[in-house]
Structure 1
Amino acid sequence: MDAGPAAAGFRWPAEWEPHAATWLSWPHNLETWPGRLEQAERAFVEIVAALSPHEEVRINVVGGPMEDRVRARLAARGVEVDRAVRFFQIPTDDAWVRDHGPIFVVGEGPPGEREVALHDFGFNAWGGKYPPWDRDNAVPAKIAELAKLQRFETGWVLEGGSIDGNGDGCILTTESCLLNPNRNRGDDGRAVTREDVEQVLADTLGATDVVWLAEGIAGDDTDGHIDDIARFVALDRVVAAVEDDASDINHRPLQKNFECLQAFRGAQGQAFDVVALPMPPPLVLDGQRCPASYANFYLANNVALVPTFEVPNDTRAIDVLRDCLPGREVIAIDSRDLVFGLGAIHCLTQQLPR
């Protein structure tokens, strides 16, 4: 592994810090949204429409014809495409840029004046589940080349949705994902340990505290990404998904995660303010339990985009997040079709800090 960003003076900023842009990879994989790709694209249009008044949106497309079609769709929705959207001819296998895209880090100094670089972790489609993934794995290097950004590289496989940070060295993650041997193994073929992972996160993202939760939610094919269960909304404040129905499969795992967050104490003895975020009722499409969660929100400049599912708990979740995010407009995005592809808004976005 190359000398990491942390040693070079870079840190991983929190999602709520100022953005220069949001990256998306436009959806095109029929196997991800069988029979619903058109509906998924409509949801993408709504995401761009919500983001574009507040920050630039950068979209990876597979060739010129796709760019022309997406331009037309966005313009028909009223998006000021020439002002607010930039297209990049970067081919992809799928749309989950949170996981196949780079993780951006920043140097010292105020937003707009500090250096921005990226870390290129390996990507293997969540433990080899969905081949091919070679085009997705090449996305960070292509972004570094086209955006002329310094690129750090490691042999470790890590998806952006598997970690969440507060910008000050504290990272949330899950054992079920980051300790899974389908991502990484030690040099001697052994299973990786917490200590192995914590060292990588320290070297690459400047982690000083790593909070280990056990597992994710039912229907999540990523082996338990953190961005469906617990998220930072401030330096020491975390929203954590809870399932009120004791008969639901998610109830006990989420309760254990909530209790773990309440019990955590950082290196300086600091505790979290842990806020309960309700879950939607089970969402089953074509016989498949989908990983529907309000925790899969995305924080952009001035706004928070929240997945909703046309159920009563939508209002409860939006109220919780509005209270936690003063000064941000909370925008609901109907994500029923998105989550049929086993992800939602946070999975489909990646912030470029200023």
Structure 2
Amino acid sequence: MPPEWAEHAATWMSWPSDDDLWFGHLAGVRAEYAELVRTIARFEPVHLLVRDEESGSTARAALPGSTASPFPITLHRVPLDDVWIRDNGPLFIRDAAGRVSLVNWRFNAWGGKFEWQNDDRVPEYVAETLGLPHWDRPEVLEGGGLEVNGAGVGLTTRSCLLTPTRNPGLDEEGYAELLRKTLGIQKLLWLDGGLENDHTDGHIDTITRFVDGRTLVTSVAQDEADANFSVMAKNLAELRGMADVHGQPFRTVELPLPANRLEGAEGRLPPTYANFYIGNGFVAVPLYGDPNDERALEVLRPLFPDREVIGLMSRAIIEGGGSFHCMTQQQPAGEGWRGEG
């Protein structure tokens, strides 16, 4: 599995459609989401899934035409349940010759928390549209639950992968072997948990991210009374003791969490700056109108010297529990794999 900073052929996304899932915030969500799509299309093609005629018409109205955007935004009519294509979409892989195929994991909406049957079919549609072979797996795995550095290391959380509602027969050793065979991960590293009230059970992409093969950013809380403080501090300590496949320690950079506590319809929201998306020449960072917004950008900009680090509002989007990384899935550059499988 290539790292996110490897060259992309395109980004895949799904247009927000259900006002109930957004607790009445759909108009604001679509405005922020459209800005994210427009930003990505400045740098690379976008494939946007829309679930019905209303979704298609509102997406077309909100987004630039082919002559207004440097790269094309292609709409696809596909049955959908939600927008979190990082988790329900495919994971693309490349072989040693650079040929691309994809892995189709099962998706069950983070242990059956929401509707998921339509979203589970998205990887098949992507494979058919691109003419790519795909490897169907019986295991549940969400892209947001795994970080890779492109050099054999994967990073995940126990709170997510070891829940009994995903793959009850798999333990840490079982996951290590599974991800070695399917994604080429030689060394799987584990943190204990993620953010409070994260309905994904603590996805790694909300707290800790690789920014290159040897550098990690990890979320930290400032308020010792915050429930996230001790969890993030423990993660930081553990990361400082971790090493790559050659035994070399990682460089670990602290990334603040938003200073203000945000409440939504179902309790505390999990805003985080770690849910950024890395594309061709840019990094899109979610902002929340928080005192730490600019500080987070200042931390991230030096880590991406060859990319434009762009802060975009995600205050309405976070009402749904996720942000930019959760809403995007990169398609790596490369020719399609044409072997048998």
TM interval, shorter chain, is over 0.9
Q: CA offset at residue 32 of structure 1?
A: 1.8
Measured in 1, the distance between the counterparts of 2:134 and 2:36 equals 28
- CA pair 320-241 structure 1, distance change in 2 beyond 3 A: same
Measured in 1, the distance between the counterparts of 2:201 and 2:5 equals 26
2:92 maps to which of 83, 87, 104? 104
Q: Equivalent residue for 2:195?
A: 217
Letter in 1 for 2:311: A
Contact 2:239–2:252 at 8 Å: present in 1 too? yes
Q: TM-score, normalised by structure 2?
A: 0.94
Letter in 2 for 1:299: I
2:323 maps to which of 306, 320, 344? 344
Q: TM-score, normalised by structure 1?
A: 0.91
Q: Equivalent residue for 1:182?
A: 165
Q: Establish whether residue 117 from structure 1 lines up as the match of residue 93 from structure 2.
A: no
Residue 46 of structure 1 aligns to a residue whose secondary structure is: helix
Q: Equivalent residue for 2:215?
A: 237
Contact 2:43–2:71 at 8 Å: present in 1 too? no
Q: CA offset at residue 106 of structure 1?
A: 1.4
Range with greater deviation from structure 2 (56-65 or 216-225):
56-65
Q: Equivalent residue for 1:189?
A: none
Measured in 2, the distance between the counterparts of 1:147 and 1:240 equals 35
- CA pair 204-79 structure 1, distance change in 2 beyond 3 A: farther
Q: Establish whether residue 27 from structure 1 lines up as the match of residue 9 from structure 2.
A: no
Letter in 2 for 1:301: N
Measured in 2, the distance between the counterparts of 1:206 and 1:83 equals 31
Q: Establish whether residue 38 from structure 1 lines up as the match of residue 18 from structure 2.
A: no
Contact 1:49–1:79 at 8 Å: present in 2 too? no
Range with greater deviation from structure 2 (260-269 or 228-237):
260-269
Q: Establish whether residue 16 from structure 1 lines up as the match of residue 2 from structure 2.
A: no
Q: Establish whether residue 137 from structure 1 lines up as the match of residue 116 from structure 2.
A: no
Measured in 2, the distance between the counterparts of 1:317 and 1:238 equals 14
Q: CA offset at residue 65 of structure 1?
A: 4.4
1:291-302 alignment, distance < 5 Å? 291-302=270-281
Residue 138 of structure 1 aligns to a residue whose secondary structure is: helix
- CA pair 310-145 structure 1, distance change in 2 beyond 3 A: same
Q: CA offset at residue 193 of structure 1?
A: 1.1
Contact 1:71–1:81 at 8 Å: present in 2 too? no
Contact 1:52–1:79 at 8 Å: present in 2 too? no
Measured in 1, the distance between the counterparts of 2:64 and 2:213 equals 38
Measured in 1, the distance between the counterparts of 2:87 and 2:271 equals 18
Q: Show CA shifts across 1:249-288 (max 9, x none).
A: 0000001001111001234211100000000022123462
- CA pair 347-158 structure 1, distance change in 2 beyond 3 A: same
Aligned residues: 332
Identical amino acids, percent of aligned pairs: 40
Q: CA offset at residue 185 of structure 1?
A: 2.1
Q: CA offset at residue 33 of structure 1?
A: 0.3
Q: Equivalent residue for 2:339?
A: none
- CA pair 308-83 structure 1, distance change in 2 beyond 3 A: closer
Measured in 2, the distance between the counterparts of 1:59 and 1:287 equals 28
RMSD: 1.5
Unaligned stretches of 5+ residues in structure 1: 1-11, 187-191
Q: Equivalent residue for 1:84?
A: 72
1:262 maps to which of 223, 240, 253? 240
Q: Equivalent residue for 1:71?
A: 60
Unaligned stretches of 5+ residues in structure 2: 334-341
